[in-house]
Amino acid sequence: MSSPSGPEPDGKKKQANARPSPGTKRERGRTADGGAGGSWRGLLFAGLALVVIAGLLVANRAMDDQADGPAADSAPQTAAEADGQLPDHREFGALLARQDPEDPTAMGDVDAPVVMVAYSDYNCPYCGRWARETQPELMPYVEQGDLRIEWRDFPIITGSSERISHAARAAGMQGRFWEFHETYFAYEEKFEGEALEEVLDEIVAELGMDPERFEKDRRSDEVAELVSRDFAEAQGIGVTSTPAFLVNGQPLMGAQPLPVFESAIENALAGAGRGDDG
């Protein structure tokens, strides 16, 4: 995990605009908590927050449904009230997984049995590590139709974090969200001010985007509202640092080693009846 004042993962700063050459071999994360000094207490607290907010989300959804239909005689029940117990993490994951076929910030089949929701910040060094090292290793699950990854913007690290999130969303409006995502994270650097604008201009040119549309979209109210929606969602479930993940509702905090994500995905597949033989 990372926080606004957290250290760089490698303890040294890269040269601005110095991007790694293709095929460069990288060392995997060395600590179980993603190098940010997290603890199991934090994980358990996050899990509790998820369970509590799940009931609230169920109630809110029921209230929305009620507004569209006949008036009810009583207040809507939460999942805990209806079942006599707190909702499990799978129910919570189903509430947060948008599974919108038109979402440019999601990859994978819309009906994939496992949905990973990723709360991240483009200036978070551990988010960058995860994007460069772990995400590519999970692509076979995506390509097989078993996994869908849904990005959520949680820009909390530096003053430019929100600007980069807006830029990524603008790229998504031209069908280049994931290309922007990969290209920006490849820099392994935090950019501010004019340096950031220069990098964004480079990415726009490299990806062949319309620069005028990009500028208009990234400064639009629509893009600002999309990023704000993600930010509010993250805060609402108790996310305080990045990266943070939900795998069918199971919380994973920090840039955990690849086997942790593989295990979570396999367990979720088994729970969905899509194990090794599925």
Mean pLDDT of 140-152: 97
Tokens coding 140: 């076979």
Q: Is the pLDDT of residue 128 over 50?
A: yes
Mean pLDDT of 1-25: 40
Across-strand partners of 114? 147
The residues, any chain, with a CB within 8 Å of residue 91's CB and separated by 6 or more, are 54, 58, 79, 249
Mean pLDDT of 189-207: 95
Tell me the C-alpha distance between 214 and 107, whole Å: 21
Mean pLDDT of 241-247: 94
Dihedral-angle region of residue 11 (phi above 0 means left; psi in -120 to 50 means alpha; beta otherwise)? left
CB 10 within 8 A of CB 129: no
CB 275 within 8 A of CB 122: no
Tokens coding 108: 């994978």
Tell me the C-alpha distance between 185 and 190, whole Å: 10
Instruction: Supply φ then ψ for residue 202, to 5 degrees.
Output: -65, -45
Mean pLDDT of 110-115: 95
Q: Is the pLDDT of residue 103 over 70?
A: yes
Q: Is the pLDDT of residue 23 over 80?
A: no
The dihedral through the CA atoms of 192, 166, 236, 8 has a sign that is negative
Q: Is the pLDDT of residue 132 over 90?
A: yes
Stretch (H or E) spanning 117:
strand 114-120
CB 213 within 8 A of CB 174: yes
Q: Is the pLDDT of residue 11 over 50?
A: no
Name the amino acid, one letter, at 232. Answer: A
pLDDT single digits (tens) 167-184: 999 999 999 999 999 999
Tokens coding 202: 């480079």
pLDDT of residue 17: 37
Across-strand partners of 242? 2
Tell me 130's DSSP state: I
CA 118: distance to chain centroid?
2
Tell me the C-alpha distance between 108 and 145, whole Å: 6
Tell me the C-alpha distance between 111 and 121, whole Å: 26
Tell me the C-alpha distance between 25 and 131, whole Å: 14
Mean pLDDT of 27-48: 39
